[in-house]
Amino acid sequence: MIHDGPVISDPIPVDGPVPPLAPLSAKRPRNDVAFPLPSARRRAPSVASLADLASGSASSAATKMAVTLVDLPPEVQGRILDHIFGDIHSVTLGSTSLRGKSVASLMRHPRRKAVSDLALVCALWREFVQERIYRHIKIKGTRAGMQESQEFFVENSHLTRHVRHIEFWVPVWGDRSSLGDNFAQSLAQQRHQQQHDPFAYGPGPVPGQYIRAHPRNGDNGTIDIPGITYLLSVQSATLAEIFQHISIHFPAACVLTLEGGHCKKSNMIRHFSADRLFEKKEFAELPGIRTFAMRGAWNLMRSYRDWLNIANALPSVEEWHCSFAKPRPEAEEIVNEIALSRPRGWRSVNVSLDGMYSKDSVGAFLPDLESLSYTGRICECMWKAAVRRVQTERILPKLAHLEIVVKSCCRQRVTTRDPLSGQETLEEIGGIMGDGAGISNLVFIKAFERLVLHTVEALRWFPRLSYIRIRFIDLDSPCTQLNPYWQLERGSVWGIWSEEIVELLHEVRPEIDYVELADGIDLDVKSGRHAKGGINGNGNGNGHANTNIHPNAHPTVSAMYPRVRPRSIKTSSYRVLVEARGQ
């Protein structure tokens, strides 16, 4: 047996006389000690330490066997998975608005298939992983896609309780194909169905039917046949079938997204099946849906009656997202009627109306909302309509968050009086420049300033309004850092300013102030004095940030551009830039 050290019970052999002990202060050479000294783990333990190690190893082994990953609190394990999957967006009634975020990407992890193996760690993690993977599902809105979904979730019914966000995307056109032998017969069937079926929104579901992209009937009833045709997506599901599928299989869903797609002169997705004449013309009610998003809304509804079909089936909606791919007069009429109806339960609206003029009706709806995200053409008329309703009806506005992406500003409306007749007329000034947008368009800059000024004035009537973000995005701008913006958050203000705006802000909200008041550009370049310390007026002057300056910018003007986005921009600086360019 090999011992690491002597045993206490064994006598120590003595072969000769024992030398006297040397004093402690005496220095003796230690030639028998090897340097460097071994670590504590490799040294020979004493007898007492051996007993301690034995008892310690037994207790540590018991501790290691007792503490496992499952013993951690579920909240800690959930945070570990959130670090991998990403934070879970709340879908409870008390959750705040999305503030303009895309609802399509909130609960969908891009690498959910790669991290699905984490479900094999333990039974508890299997539940956590399934909750995060099936929290957002996407289904193709065809009969085959819904059949596949039905078969899977019927076989795995325990997964349906995890589904919170369900998304359907409905294809408009099928695959490109050539003319078939039975093309004329299919066209005749389609023409007959369109003439004798008044309930059909589009071509009927004739399997294998071919149709050209934009059919046009001539005087003799014939249809022009192009060289290339498209297979009509006749297997697309109707909205009634989609709502029925959700009500049966996903009762716990809280968010619904319908993707209608967009292309030139595409057909609208049918709401009801044309071959079921005696079917009740209403959708299955989904009381659990609280957030409803419509993408490619032109293919989902083309009249206010179409909207009522959808709205009547969603009585509990509190948050509505809607976007149109292209501006259409009919789409603007639909949004106007929706805003004028003022749904009582809505708390948040995210609407994109690029090129449309629905600001007045949306403005009248502002006092009923808690959050609004608006993208499109806008001016101070939105605030005039909102304040007018607050003053007339004497209501307390609920609006707390506002985000506006300005595409362009409307022409300024002025009231003129005829000196002869005394009749008042409403006119628009600004000319063709009033329809454009850009940092070199002084008409647009003036309109943007009026929008900010009326926003500050509206703070008097909207006491709960604490977050505002107004911005203009132009990637082709000579200097994207100077795109006008105005932001109010946590009692501080950034963005464009003028003496009138600052004075009105101090009058309406004395506790709110700008973080700084600067020109936003380097005025020393114009006067011939170049600043040595970087950019003057943006409060940064680091000189090494990313610069987004147009390659064809004027050499003198480009020297005035800031390298980073200024925290404040004086509105008169845009006139200085225009004059420097010689416009």
Between 358 and 372, residue with greater pLDDT: 372
Least confident of 115-129, 256-270, 427-441, 514-528: 427-441
Mean pLDDT score of the chain: 73
List of residues 6+ apart from 180 with CB closer than 8 A = 186, 208, 210
Distance CA 139, CA 342 (A): 31
Q: Which amino acid is at 433?
A: M
Least confident of 51-65, 78-92, 205-219, 496-510: 205-219
Q: Rounded to the nearest 10 degrees, what angle do helices 304-311 and 329-341 cross at? A: 50
What are the structure tokens assigned to 98, written together? 């999305």
Predicted structure pTM score: 0.71
For residue 228, the model assigns a pLDDT of 43
For residue 24, the model assigns a pLDDT of 43
For residue 360, the model assigns a pLDDT of 72
Quickly state the pLDDT bin for 555 (edges 50, 70, 90).
low
Quickly state the pLDDT bin for 211 (edges 50, 70, 90).
very low
Q: Is 80 exceeded by the pLDDT of residue 213?
A: no
List of residues 6+ apart from 114 with CB closer than 8 A = none
Q: Is 80 exceeded by the pLDDT of residue 289?
A: yes
Highest mean pLDDT among 29-43, 128-142, 155-169, 353-367: 155-169
Quickly state the pLDDT bin for 456 (edges 50, 70, 90).
very high
Between 184 and 478, residue with greater pLDDT: 478
Going by DSSP bridges, is the β-strand pair 291-295/165-169 parallel, antiparallel, or unpaired? unpaired
What are the structure tokens assigned to 212, written together? 């050209």
Distance CA 492, CA 467 (A): 10
